[in-house]
Amino acid sequence: AVVDGLPEASAWDVAAFGRQKLEDAFGEMVLTVFSPAQAALLEGKTSRRHTVREILQMVRDPKHNVYVFNPDFFKNESAGQLATMPQWLHMPDGQRLLTLGGPRAGTQFHAHGAAFLTLLAGHKRWYLHRPGVFPEASVRAIHREVSDWEAEVLPGLGDSAPFGCVQRTGETMFVPDVWPHATINLDETIGVAWQRYQNAHSTCPFGEDFFCL
């Protein structure tokens, strides 16, 4: 599901997330970064840490394919006031995260609790499977970049292909509980996510696939 107009309705300070303002206000803040496969294989855990200033430089360098999906940013008091979650979007045990990355950055297929992601700049392509449906060909490519999967695996999936859509600036994407999904940036993006890490349901009753292991 896609919701439009959330930043305006919630009076978010969207301008504060521009590259220059972000660097001026939070350039020395240290955040973790990861590569596309780490979301699936390491549950997003990473020891790679850089300042916001360094990250903003890296996302425009083709040699780096780094992605920020980090809750620490909004623990800063000033940052936390930039994009407060409206009550109607609040989820128990949810966590607010900053998402940032250059072209081709994103996450390989993974699953977790229900989540929202609002794009404040850029475009992001999404792929989603229903729970219990995850092709073996995609499992074998889960350690690779999403762009490789798109080029080499997706064309041969046929009826097993995931749902897909492109999220635009200002839109909020909702991902249901335990739905496997992958993302890839079409250009430089920055956004705000609200996510539950714990599943409300088990994937196993839906089918014995990769996310039931």
pLDDT digits (tens, 9 = 90+) for 101-139: 999 998 999 888 899 999 999 999 999 999 888 899 999
Residue predicted with more confidence, 39 or 20 = 20
d(CA 193, CA 15): 17
pLDDT at 191: 97
- Local confidence band at 11 (pLDDT 50, 70, 90 cut-offs): very high
Residue 140, φ and ψ in degrees, nearest 5: -70, -20
Rounded to the nearest 10 degrees, how much is the dihedral formed by the CA atoms of 100, 102, 104, 110? -10
Predicted structure pTM score: 0.89
User: b vs e for 32-69, b when ≥16 Cβ sit within 10 Å of the residue's Cβ?
Assistant: bbbbbbbbbeeebebeeebebebbbebbeeeebbbbbb
d(CA 31, CA 72): 7
Mean pLDDT of the chain: 89
Q: What percent of the chain has pLDDT over 90?
A: 62
Do 100 and 148 meet the contact criterion of CB atoms below 8 Å apart?
no
Mean pLDDT calculated for residue range 94-106: 92
Mean pLDDT calculated for residue range 174-201: 89
Q: What percent of the chain has pLDDT over 70?
A: 87
Single-letter amino acid, residue 141: A
> Is pLDDT of 44 > 70?
no
Query: For tokens 């240290």, what's the residue?
Result: 30
d(CA 202, CA 178): 8
The strand pairing partners of 128, in sequence order, are 163, 181
The strand pairing partners of 2, in sequence order, are 173
| Segment of 59-68, 138-147, 161-170 carrying the highest mean pLDDT | 161-170
Pairing of strands 106-110, 2-4: unpaired
Residue predicted with more confidence, 57 or 46 = 57
- Local confidence band at 208 (pLDDT 50, 70, 90 cut-offs): low
